[in-house]
Amino acid sequence: MFPQPNVINRATTAVDEGLRQHMLRVYNTMILGMLFTGIVAWYVSSTPEILQQVAGFSMPLGLLIFGTSIAFGFLINKMSVTVATAYFYAFAAAMGAIVSLYMATYTGESVARAFFSAAALFGGMSLYGYTTKKNLEGWASFLSVGVVAAIIIIPLNYLLFKSTAVMMAMNAVIVFLSAGITAYSTQDIRARYYESNGHELNSKMAIAGAFQLYVNFINMFLALLRLFGDRR
């Protein structure tokens, strides 16, 4: 016996509403993380004593942030929702300390311009990833190779070559990669949602999705600031 059309419609509506709520939770969590980062960055940049300490430990802090961003993907399944949420906001706070160094280096106008440019690019690519019927799975391997190349080239250039041209080129590449990853990640977050997953799993997936989109946005914002920002 086949389901009646009204039963199918009610089920579809329930899943669509659940997906809408799921995506809202992803974006709201991401925005709160960005707000937390901004508050920490403003406080540190306006407190010379703390800013000086952060500047002295910027390299270890950067390595710690990179390591914890990688570890999050492996640890999320073992965490409770509460621990995963705390991890995300602790990461956002640490990223705020790094962003404070940029706020102290670049003019306020440059920071605002880079932020709104990144927001516009991020919003457009995320909307594309959410609405397109094209399967973006094929982008994953290309983007992964690009990220690995950037991870190798950037520290090598910083330590050995110190080439401004290479650094500018890599910042442009980071913007391009971050835009692509934003579209792919948004589609992936949507595709992984199922009403039958249960509240606990979908809650952790929402935090993981917010974390991934947050990192993409921050990378995009800082790369645009390095490309086009005016120093104080």
Look-up of token digits 């041209």: 165
Helices 199-228, 108-131: crossing angle, 10 deg rounding: 140
Q: Is 80 left (phi over 0), alpha (psi -120 to 50) or beta?
A: beta
Q: How confident is the model at residue 6 (pLDDT cuts 50, 70, 90)?
A: very low
pLDDT at 201: 86
Query: What tens digit of pLDDT does each residue of 39-76 get?
Result: 999 999 999 999 999 999 988 998 899 899 999 989 99
The least confident of 61-70, 113-122, 160-169, 221-230 is: 160-169
Residue (of 147, 172, 174, 180) closest to 227 by Cα position:
172
Mean per-residue pLDDT for 127-156?
Answer: 87
Q: Report yes or no: 183 and 129 within 8 Å, Cβ to Cβ.
A: yes
Q: What gap in Å lies between CA 205 and CA 195, rounded to an integer? A: 12
Q: Report yes or no: 27 and 86 within 8 Å, Cβ to Cβ.
A: no
Domain map (residue ranges) of the chain: 5-228
